[in-house]
Amino acid sequence: MKIEDLKVGQRIKFAASEYHLSLKGVVKEKYEQDGQIKAVIKVANYRIIIDNTYLIFTD
């Protein structure tokens, strides 16, 4: 799955690579920066910014 396919409010799992643990979160917002689409994911009390370099799975 890619960032472009995500919707605000959608629950996802994501990981930095296949060797890292995946985290569950909710998409809070999407934006474009320097021609690259990014998403803000809320995980517990944290907000994590991800891009298409992350592995993204539907929850």
Within a 13 Å sphere around the CA of 35, how many CA atoms are in the beta-carbon half? 0
pLDDT tens track for 25-39: 999 999 999 999 999
pTM for this model (two decimals): 0.87
Where in the chain are the domains?
3-58
pLDDT digits (tens, 9 = 90+) for 9-30: 999 999 999 999 999 999 999 9
Considering the domain delimited by 3-58, tell me its CATH architecture. Answer: Roll (2.30)
d(CA 46, CA 32): 20
User: What does the pLDDT read at residue 31?
Assistant: 97
Report the pLDDT averaged over residues 47-55. Answer: 96
Neighbours of 14 (CB within 10 A): 22
